[in-house]
Structure 1
Amino acid sequence: MDDLSVVIEDPRWDALALETLAETALRATLTHLALDPDRCEVTLLACDDARIAVLNGDFRAKPTPTNVLSWPAEERAADAPGDNPQALKPGLDGLYELGDIAISFDTCEREAQAAGKPVTDHVTHLVVHGVLHLLGYDHETDADAALMEGLEVKILGKMGLNDPYRN
Structure 2
Amino acid sequence: MEPLVDTVIEDDRWLAFGLEARAESAARATLAGLGLDPAGFQIVVMGCDDARIASLNADFRGKPQPTNVLSWPAEDLSPDEPGGDPLPPEPGEADDPESLGDIAIAWETCEREAAEQGKAMADHVTHLLVHGVLHLLGHDHIEEADAERMESIEVRVLATLGIADPY
For 1:40, the equivalent position in structure 2 comes to 41
Q: Provide the C-alpha distance between the structure 2 equivalents of 1:105 and 1:13, rounded to a whole number of angstroms.
A: 7
1:22-58 Cα offsets, whole Å, 9 max, x none, are 1110110001111111211000010000000000000
SS of equivalent residue, structure 1 residue 74: coil
For 1:3, the equivalent position in structure 2 comes to 4
* Structure 1 stretches of at least 4 aligned residues deviating more than 2 Å after TM superposition: 89-96
Using the TM superposition, give the Cα deviation of residue 89 of structure 1 relative to its aligned residue in structure 2, in angstroms: 2.2
1:61-109 Cα offsets, whole Å, 9 max, x none, are 0000000000000111101000010111245876331000000001000
- TM-score, with length taken from structure 2: 0.95
Q: Does 1:49 align with 2:53?
A: no
Q: Provide the C-alpha distance between the structure 2 equivalents of 1:98 and 1:52, rounded to a whole number of angstroms.
A: 20
Aligned residue pairs, count: 165
SS of equivalent residue, structure 1 residue 164: coil
Q: Which runs of 5+ in 2 are unaligned?
A: none
Q: Any residues of structure 2 matched to 1:142-161 within 5 Å, and which?
A: 142-161=144-163
Q: Provide the C-alpha distance between the structure 2 equivalents of 1:17 and 1:139, rounded to a whole number of angstroms.
A: 28
Q: Which runs of 5+ in 1 are unaligned?
A: none
SS of equivalent residue, structure 1 residue 5: strand
For 1:129, the equivalent position in structure 2 comes to 131
Quote the sequence identity (%). 57
Q: Give the superposed CA RMSD.
A: 1.3
